């Protein structure tokens, strides 16, 4: 009786493995869709992240340029007097 129960479990597991194998058309199609949409999501997320980082970098660069411009004007005014 114990051997029958073990063999029944083996049959269930082997049936599951055969059903979910990469040779199944539906499983391959599902994996292809997951990979495609996963890469699409990563690409969009990286583009958004790059845009946010570029915006922050431009904000900092304009702040530094404004500060440098004021410092140059003050330095020129100081040396004129």
Report pLDDT digits (tens) over 2-16.
Answer: 555 556 665 666 666
**C-alpha span between 48 and 56 (Å, rounded):** 12
Are the CB atoms for 22 and 28 separated by under 8 Å?
Answer: yes
Three-state SS at 41: helix
pTM above 0.75, yes or no: no
Ordered by start, the domain boundaries in the chain are 2-80
For residue 80, pLDDT over 70 is answered with no
């Amino acid at each position: 009786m114990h051997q029958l129960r073990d063999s029944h479990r083996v049959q269930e597991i082997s049936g599951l493995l055969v059903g979910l194998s990469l040779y199944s058309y539906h499983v391959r199609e599902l994996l292809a869709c997951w990979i495609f949409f996963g890469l699409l999501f990563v690409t969009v997320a990286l583009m958004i992240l790059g845009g946010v980082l570029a915006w922050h970098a431009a904000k900092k660069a304009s702040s530094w340029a404004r500060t440098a411009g004021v410092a140059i004007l003050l330095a020129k005014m100081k040396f004129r007097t």
